Amino acid sequence: MKNVMFVCEHNSRRSQMAEGFARILGEGKITVTSSGLTINEVDPMAVEVMSEIGIDISQQTSKPLDKFNPENYDMVISLCGCGVNLPESWVIREVFEDWQLDDPTGESIETFRRVRDEVKERVVKLIASLS
């Protein structure tokens, strides 16, 4: 089983959605955590758009990356382009990807839904690549 870290600047939207999708869609295939370079509250709009499709992320919390050991992760996925700001020990894992998805902060619910769907598509492909 692969250990995956989803990381984003604030760990409040995209990485939280990715964690929610991966927990459900990757059950039995991966273990998953999300974190941020800084922490923030999980965005209520992210919780809402995930709830619309039956995934509850309301109990997830924002966690700082520096509380984790990179050696415990096989795969590191940046969702916001913050990969350039990560310590080298994180980007030299077995797999490192930087998805650079749009930040829906301050945007409409439709934008949150679009980003949610993009996150799902990427997570599905990631899980499929493990087969």
Chain segment 59-115, per-residue pLDDT in tens: 999 999 999 999 999 999 999 888 788 999 999 999 999 999 999 988 899 999 999
Q: Helix, strand or coil for residue 99? A: coil
Active site residue 80: yes
Active site residue 82: no
Q: Give the rounded percent of residues in the chain with a pLDDT score beyond 90.
A: 89
Among the listed residues 4, 5, 46, 80, the single catalytic one is 80
pLDDT above 80: residue 131: no
Structure-block tokens of residue 2? 């692969």
What per-residue confidence (pLDDT) applies to 38?
92
pLDDT tier at 130, thresholds 50, 70, 90: confident
Among the listed residues 8, 22, 46, 75, the single catalytic one is 8
Domains in the chain with CATH codes = 2-128 (3.40.50.2300)
pLDDT tier at 6, thresholds 50, 70, 90: very high
Q: Any residues with CB less than 8 A from the CB of 73 and at least 6 apart, and which?
A: 3, 4, 5, 33, 90, 93
Q: Helix, strand or coil for residue 47? A: helix
Cα–Cα distance, 108 to 96 (Å, whole number): 30
